[in-house]
Amino acid sequence: MIRYALSCDHDHAFEGWFGSSSDYDDQAARGLLECPLCGSKGVRKQIMAPAVAGTKAQKSAPAVDPKMREMMMTAMGEVRRQVEENFDYVGDRFAKEARDIHEGKSEERGIYGEASAKEVKALVEDGVKIAPLPPAAPKKTEVN
């Protein structure tokens, strides 16, 4: 059995149990799904990973759902991709360049590169706006 978190077009949240994901698709296609609260047939899956029942108990630590994690990693990978495409790579000159831009000595633009922890600390202390670059998106083969 697969549990799906569903919601209707009135944003009522409820759960549905299905024999398989194709079971859900089948019922949805035939208009058999309706909101138990308002009877709306505008039912859709919430953006959430299905919980699979009957598998061995999860470890007690509040683990991040692997599907959620994958989505987050993909989103972060997208940010990284945008940065890599649109920002100037300055390598280990990052700290100097970021400071020069901050002080108006260098052309204002997006840059990325490497900096030591010490450099990062100094930049932050001086009010230079920097952020760690998210990791690259995992390759499909690395996920499961």
Instruction: Give me the residues that bind Zn ion (CB under 5 A), please.
Output: 8, 10, 12, 35, 37-38, 40
What burial letters (b/e) apply to 45-66, b meaning 16+ CB within 10 Å? eeeeebeeeeeeeeeeeeeeee
Shortest Cβ distance from residue 35 to Zn ion (Å)? 3
Of 9 and 92, which CB lies nearer to Zn ion in the complex structure? 9
Q: Judged by CB, which is closer to Zn ion: 47, or 61?
A: 47
Nearer Cβ to Zn ion (12/45): 12
Cα–Cα–Cα angle for 104, 108, 113, rounded to 5 degrees: 105
Minimum CB separation of residue 19 from Zn ion in Å reads 23
22 burial (CB, 10 Å; 0-12 / 13-18 / 19+) is exposed
Strands (E), 1-139: 2-7, 13-18, 44-45, 51-52, 88-91, 111-113
Task: Report in angstroms how near the CB of residue 33 gets to Zn ion at its nearest.
Answer: 11
Structure tokens at 126: 């001086």
**Residue among 37 and 64 whose Cβ is closer to Zn ion:** 37
Q: How far apart are CA 50 and CA 45, in angstroms?
A: 9
- Residue with Cβ nearer Zn ion (27 or 40): 40
The distance of closest approach from Cβ of residue 39 to Zn ion in the complex, given in angstroms and rounded to an integer, is: 7
Nearest approach in angstroms of CB 84 to Zn ion is 43
| 13-18/88-91 β-pairing | unpaired
